């Protein structure tokens, strides 16, 4: 079970990552951060409804996995160009 306010915190963190990745011109990272932000926003909006939270939590987890992969890809790219 997610602690109270967790989806809001995830939403805010994803928003920050989205902005930073936009500044770095990293479209894959930006797109996956935006998808996580949107999923967390939906889940946050259903926070009072346990069934809706249970339905949305796996979507947030999946988008988090996508973001982790995008970060790994960006890191691999930076390494490949010697940064």
Give the pLDDT band (50/70/90) at residue 79. very high
Tens digit of each residue's pLDDT (9 = 90 or more) over 7-55: 999 999 999 999 999 998 999 999 999 999 999 999 988 877 888 888 8
> Quick one: pLDDT at residue 1?
60
Q: C-alpha distances in angstroms, 82 versus 35, 48, 71, 79?
A: 29, 48, 17, 5
Given a cut of 70, is residue 65 above it in pLDDT?
yes
Q: Taking CA 59 as the corner, what is the angle to CA 54 and CA 61, rounded to the nearest 5 degrees?
A: 95
Top pLDDT among 76 and 2 is at 76
């Amino acid at each position: 079970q997610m602690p109270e306010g967790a989806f809001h915190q995830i939403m805010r963190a994803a928003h920050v990552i989205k902005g930073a990745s936009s500044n770095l011109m990293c479209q894959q990272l930006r797109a996956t951060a935006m998808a996580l932000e949107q999923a967390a926003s939906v889940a946050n909006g259903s926070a009072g409804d346990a069934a809706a939270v249970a339905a949305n939590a796996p979507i947030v987890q999946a988008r988090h996995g996508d973001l982790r992969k995008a970060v790994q890809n960006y890191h691999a790219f930076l390494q490949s160009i010697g940064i």
